[in-house]
Amino acid sequence: MKIRFRAAALFAASLGLMVVSAMAPATAAPGNNGTVKVDNIELDNQMNANEPHVGCEFAVEWYGFDPSVTSHVTFEAQPPTGTRLLLEDDVLLSSNAIPGGSPAAFDGEELYVLDFNDGDFFHPQQGYHVKLTINTPISNGADVKHKVFWVEGCDVPPPPI
C-alpha cells in the first residue's frame, strides 16, 4: 500500500510541476534565441513568414533576438546556381528588443537585391539557388543560422558576343 501511495504522490507532484511550468512566462534566457525569415516583399506582408521563393528584391527579418546585437549576413550561390559569394552585410538589430524576449518579437528587417552574372546557373522553373548564413554572436545556443531559398525575376546581363 505504501508503494502505491508513493507512486501516486510522485505522479501528482509531477503534474503540479507541469502545470506551473506551462503557466510560466514565454521568455527565454538572453542570447541567440531568435529566428530569421526570408520574406518576398512583392507579396502581401506576412510577418514572421518564411518564403522559399522570392523576387529579386526581398527582405530578411529577425525575430526574438537580444537588443543591440549585430548579425553578420552572408549570401552565397548554392548549387546548381554556383558556389560563389554574392554579398556580405552587417545588420544592427533593434535596441528595443527585450533580452530573451518572445520568439515572435520583431527585431529588424533589411532589404536586399543580389547581383547575379552570366556565370551563375539560372534554373528555368526555380530561379537562382541561394544560401543565407546569419552569424549573431553572444549566443545562448548556436551563433549561426542558415536558410536556403530561390530568387527569381533578376535580370542577368547577356553574355558577351
Domain spans of the chain?
28-151
Average pLDDT, stretch 154-160?
Answer: 62
Q: Is it the case that residue 134 has pLDDT exceeding 70?
A: yes
C-alpha cell at 160: 558577351
Q: Is it the case that residue 58 has pLDDT exceeding 50?
A: yes
Query: Position 35: which residue type?
Result: T
Q: Which fold would CATH assign to domain 28-151?
A: Immunoglobulin-like (2.60.40)
Name the residue with higher pLDDT: 92 or 28.
92
Q: Taking Cα atoms as reference points, which of 76, 80, 78 lies closest to residue 123?
A: 80
Distance set, CA 128 to CA 5, 57, 88, 121, 146 (Å): 64, 13, 17, 7, 17
User: What confidence tens digit (pLDDT) does each residue in 98-109 have?
Assistant: 555 555 678 889
In the chain the first and final C-alpha atoms are separated, in Å, by 92
Backbone angles phi, psi at 35, to 5 degrees: -130, 155
Name the residue with higher pLDDT: 97 or 137.
137
Q: Which of 12-26, 70-84, 106-120, 133-147 has the lowest mean pLDDT?
A: 12-26
H helices then E strands: how many in the chain? Answer: 1, 8
Surface-to-core class of residue 75, CB atoms within 10 Å of its CB (0-12 exposed, 13-18 middle, 19+ buried): buried
Q: Is it the case that residue 148 has pLDDT exceeding 60?
A: yes
- SS3 at position 139: coil
